[in-house]
Structure 1
Amino acid sequence: MRALRFCLVITLLGFASQHAALAQAGKHSAHENLGVVNFKTSCSGVAQPQFNRAVALMHSFQFARAIEGFKETLASDPSCAIAYWGIALSDWGNPFGTGQRPAAQLEQGLSAVEQGRSGQAKTERERAFIEAVARLYADVGKTDQRSRILAYESAMADLSSRYPDDEEAAIFHALALAASADPADKTYARQLQAGAILDKLFAQHPDHPGLAHYIIHAYDVAPLAGRAVGAARRYAEIAPSAPHALHMPSHTFTRVGYWQDSIAANRAAAAASDREGQIAEELHDMDYLTYAYLQRGQDRAALSMVRSAGEVFSRFDPKVLLSGAAGPPAGYFAHAAIPARYCLERRAWADAAKLVLTRSLI
């Protein structure tokens, strides 16, 4: 009888533990829509949906929220070492961001890699993901950033080749290809290679946030932008809970001259970025919005952006390295570009001569 009671207690405790973890995973889901991601792991059944949610956030460049999600995954299953891969890749930030990564950001990413290695991921595939992201942080003092980015792309190419049925591996390889493209290469070889991978998968998984997002990035040059219109039309519908998913379609709309679509996208994106406290992202949205207003001849609306940008910039903290897709450089850029665009597009040269530069702290 005691044995029966003991088994009953253990069973109930197990159900209670699982219920608590599921409640933690589900607390985000009432009004949250991030798209559909299925990144298979060896983690527990409770941790798996938490991990998928964190990857979905990362696919929409919601890096701070993704890191929180991966930490929730580890709280549910401390043996889920692949979660450290997600933290490390999120620590890198926007792969299309320009400039050198700050030392503090590199230290955080390397720490996550080391924790992932010491966590002894349960499968060779999961260990391969951790070793691939390690290339971004390896020998920082001896190897330049460009070489590390290319090494990461090469590692992801190898991983995807070794696991040809792993769609997430293919997606992250395609992202690495597009992000490592040489801007001077006007054949757009890497972008086209990435786009071919993504287009094929997007036809099979039309609700995947990373596929829509990275297609837009892969074709984010004027000669290729028309190829991304379908993905641009879908992305905000796939992941409306990510501010960047509301903004990113406007990259394509701007390239192809769909100004009213860009206005609608960035008005929604700026409001969402403001709600999430992603100030650099909000300024980036406003920059695109200003340009679209000017192309439509809506000078009064553009002027309202110029006037409100100062207040938004007053809330900008360049010490916040990771939040949404836009980092500190994007915040500074937008703050300078918004009034400059307003003068340039209207040929208001006297006003342009009066613009005051803001000193960057980065």
Structure 2
Amino acid sequence: MGRPIILLLALVFLAPAPTSRAASRLGEVSFANSGAPAAQAPFIRGLALLHNFEYADAAIAFREAQAADPGFAMAWWGEAMSYNHPVWMEQDADKARRALASFGPTPDVRLSKAGTEREKAYVHALETLYGAGDKKDRDLRYAEEMARLHERFPADVDATAFYALSLLGTAHEGRDFATYMRAAALLEEVFPTHPNHPGVLHYLIHCYDDPIHAPLGMRAARLYGPLAAGAPHALHMTSHIFIALGMWDEVIAANLAARGAGNDARRAKGLAPEPCGHSREWLVYGYLQERRLAEADAMIADSRRMAVIEIARPPGPAADRRWSELASYADMATRSAIDTGRPAEPLPAVIEPADNEPARFMLAYGEAMAAPADSARLRAAFERLGALRRHVWPAPK
């Protein structure tokens, strides 16, 4: 966005338009608003984190903005937005509704507190996202509201980016090219004028995240990692394009950088380095493709050690299973078994079915893929797969 446009928006909305620049290592965002001066820095930081899918840190930043200006509607909007993860089809509506209730008891009250017509449009769309109805219906109506917001404020790059993201959030039946290309078309319109906007680059990568369209995402992937090097997810996300094109050196480099950035952030909070995680799984896959088996084996062995420790703990909530050590180990060990023909080392502890059936299914799948044809080992693995499948993917009711 050029300086004259930023100044014009500032006059229209009676607020400064602070910008989070590359020095913050989150990309560049600018959002004219009615918040108090003390709320500007945390709000802009929260917005950049939100576009980078660093949701937990975004919520913290938006709460800092709330503390600086309790009547700043967009600070509460931001926290509620951090509980909606459209691409992953995840949403914590209860947390979002509690946050909104802290700002005002009803949608009308909350809307009346929004300082500008543009802010009212954002808050109104948010009320649709967390209003009545099931998630699928709310996602569809939210996308319709974001379309109206985008049409009303065509110069607002964040409205364009969030509208594109809302479209991706309507693909409940799985990725479909029509929806994803609609979103891409919106983002391509603003990409030339906003090449450093984290949402534009990030969501373009999601739009093109398949082997057919991956070449179209190369521009965004090359820009996004260096621009948002302070966001671990951004660094990892570039590898979604690289992996589709068989660029294994780049896949490895991106996920090493993502793990490094993630662990730097954890150390800054006084936390230990993360032993598992999505970027680690992709890193191991890159090593396997380059036949760097010693490096892959070392990471798998370390993850297995942590999985054994995890198994000994009481079962956690279902939300933890996707990113658990056991799930991470199962993913890496299975990919290794498929690529090398070497079965994973059996776990020495009982895996409780109620908490870990997806991981058990993955391990049985890897065993089946690595087993010799027409062998007792293969038949046993298929029996386990059949039994587990009924629990992991039950028949629709």
TM-score normalised to the size of structure 2? Answer: 0.73
Deviation of residue 54 (structure 1)?
0.9
Deviation of residue 276 (structure 1)?
3.0
Query: Unaligned 5+ residue runs, structure 1?
Result: 1-24, 322-326
Q: Matches of 1:185 and 1:160 in 2, distance apart? A: 23
Q: Matches of 1:60 and 1:185 in 2, distance apart? A: 20
1:37 pairs with one of 6, 25, 29: 29
Deviation of residue 249 (structure 1)?
0.3
Deviation of residue 82 (structure 1)?
1.2
Paired residue type of 2:299: M
CA, structure 1 residues 195+330, in 2 after alignment: closer, same or farther (shift >3 Å)?
Answer: farther
Equivalent residues of 2:136, 2:172 under 8 A apart: no
Cα deviations across residues 156-215 of structure 1 (Å, max 9, x unaligned)?
1121112222221111001111232355565x1111111111122121112111111111
Which residue of structure 2 aligns with residue 19 of structure 1? none
Q: Matches of 1:128 and 1:225 in 2, distance apart? A: 34
1:239 aligns with 2:211: no
1:111 aligns with 2:111: no
Deviation of residue 255 (structure 1)?
0.9
Query: Unaligned 5+ residue runs, structure 2?
Result: 1-17, 357-397
Deviation of residue 78 (structure 1)?
1.9
1:76 pairs with one of 62, 68, 77: 68
Q: Which stretches of structure 1, 4 residues or more, deviate above 6 A after TM superposition? A: 28-31, 278-281
Q: How does 1:82-101 map to 2 (within 5 A)?
A: 82-92=74-84, 94-98=85-89, 101=91
Equivalent residues of 1:284, 1:330 under 8 A apart: yes
Equivalent residues of 1:82, 1:127 under 8 A apart: no
Paired residue type of 2:291: G
Which residue of structure 2 aligns with residue 267 of structure 1? 256
CA, structure 1 residues 253+346, in 2 after alignment: closer, same or farther (shift >3 Å)?
Answer: same
1:249 pairs with one of 225, 231, 238: 238
CA, structure 1 residues 126+289, in 2 after alignment: closer, same or farther (shift >3 Å)?
Answer: same
1:343 pairs with one of 326, 334, 337: 337
Equivalent residues of 1:57, 1:66 under 8 A apart: yes
Q: Matches of 2:274 and 2:203 in 1, distance apart? A: 21
Q: Matches of 2:280 and 2:62 in 1, distance apart? A: 30
SS, match of residue 221 in structure 1: coil
Deviation of residue 235 (structure 1)?
0.9
1:229 pairs with one of 211, 218, 230: 218
Deviation of residue 333 (structure 1)?
4.1
Which residue of structure 2 aligns with residue 293 of structure 1? 287
CA, structure 1 residues 35+296, in 2 after alignment: closer, same or farther (shift >3 Å)?
Answer: same
Equivalent residues of 2:215, 2:241 under 8 A apart: yes
Deviation of residue 280 (structure 1)?
7.7
Paired residue type of 1:165: A
Q: Larger RCO: Structure 1 or Structure 2 (Cα < 8 Å, ≥ 6 residues apart)?
A: 1
1:197 aligns with 2:190: no
1:180 pairs with one of 157, 162, 170: 170
Equivalent residues of 1:270, 1:282 under 8 A apart: no
Equivalent residues of 1:266, 1:289 under 8 A apart: yes
Deviation of residue 121 (structure 1)?
1.0
Deviation of residue 135 (structure 1)?
2.6
Equivalent residues of 2:252, 2:287 under 8 A apart: yes
Which residue of structure 2 aligns with residue 305 of structure 1? 299
Q: Matches of 1:249 and 1:262 in 2, distance apart? A: 8
Give identity over the alignment, percent.
34
2:153 pairs with one of 163, 182, 192: 163
Paired residue type of 2:121: A
2:50 pairs with one of 45, 48, 58: 58
SS, match of residue 141 in structure 2: helix
SS, match of residue 226 in structure 1: helix
Q: Matches of 2:187 and 2:277 in 1, distance apart? A: 29
Cα deviations across residues 258-282 of structure 1 (Å, max 9, x unaligned)?
1110000101111222333498895
Which residue of structure 1 aligns with residue 134 of structure 2? 144
SS, match of residue 229 in structure 2: coil
SS, match of residue 149 in structure 2: helix
Deviation of residue 358 (structure 1)?
6.8
Paired residue type of 1:168: D
TM-score normalised to the size of structure 1? Answer: 0.79
Paired residue type of 1:344: I
